[in-house]
Amino acid sequence: MTETFDIGFLLFPELTQLDMTGPAQVLARMPGAKLHFVWKNLDPIKDDCGLTFLPTTTFADCPQLDMICVPGGYGTSAVMRDDAALSWLRKQAEGAQFITSVCTGSLILAAAGLMTGYKAACHWAWRDLLPQFGVIPVADRVVEDRNRISGGGVTAGIDFAFHIAEKLHGRDVAEMLQLVLEYDPAPLSGGTPETARKPILDMTRAAMTARGFDLRRDEIAAIASAR
């Protein structure tokens, strides 16, 4: 019988659902995996697109996890100030085998003091804020530093999950999951600031600013300064 491997996703208002659901689709299919979607209560949570999710357990009732995974999203800065969420992460980290994140979730772990001195990935637009928390930013889709494993922005969470699957169960299992999910991307070019055409990069920055990008960067910088 396969031993249960408990994976907990921090579920919070205004998260980017693909940061969570992308990895969840992969990780849920690993042998023995049991997923938990955790928040301070069981009330419905609305993501940054208006989709609604239900937590499966609370901070108080969640079992000790083998793996913590923190997604990102527009609600990141609020969670970085949430003492209950940060305290739960610190407590779980004491017994977790892996402490992980996707996108700006690495900033939440950093705010909890769990990434100091570690290398980490983050969404490209927020990556430069990591050093303010003592974190070493790396511009890769998946970054592993000891038991900290982080994925870059949004879709990188899928690559991150296959990395976890291969690490825990070997390449054959990871490739089987890849085939089951028909994960064989053929993307357009320009998915990073380094590869995007300059006009597209400028348009993207302008659109993100219109959605409060600058405000949220300032909020996160203020949190770092307060620390």
Q: At residue 1, does pLDDT exceed 80?
A: no
- Spot the catalytic one: 62, 69, 103, 122: 103
Distance, CA of 10 to CA of 96 (rounded, Å) = 14
Domain spans in the chain, listed from the N-terminal domain onward? 5-187
Provide the whole-model pTM.
Answer: 0.96
Residue 49 annotated in active site: no
- Average the pLDDT over 161-187 and give the result: 96
Domain 5-187 = CATH 3.40.50.880:
yes
Distance, CA of 48 to CA of 98 (rounded, Å) = 27
The 10 Å Cβ neighbour count of residue 169 is: 18
Alpha carbon of residue 8 to chain centroid: 11
Q: At residue 201, does pLDDT exceed 80?
A: yes
pLDDT attached to residue 214: 77
Distance, CA of 157 to CA of 139 (rounded, Å) = 14
Cβ–Cβ < 8 Å for 58, 39: yes
pLDDT attached to residue 63: 98
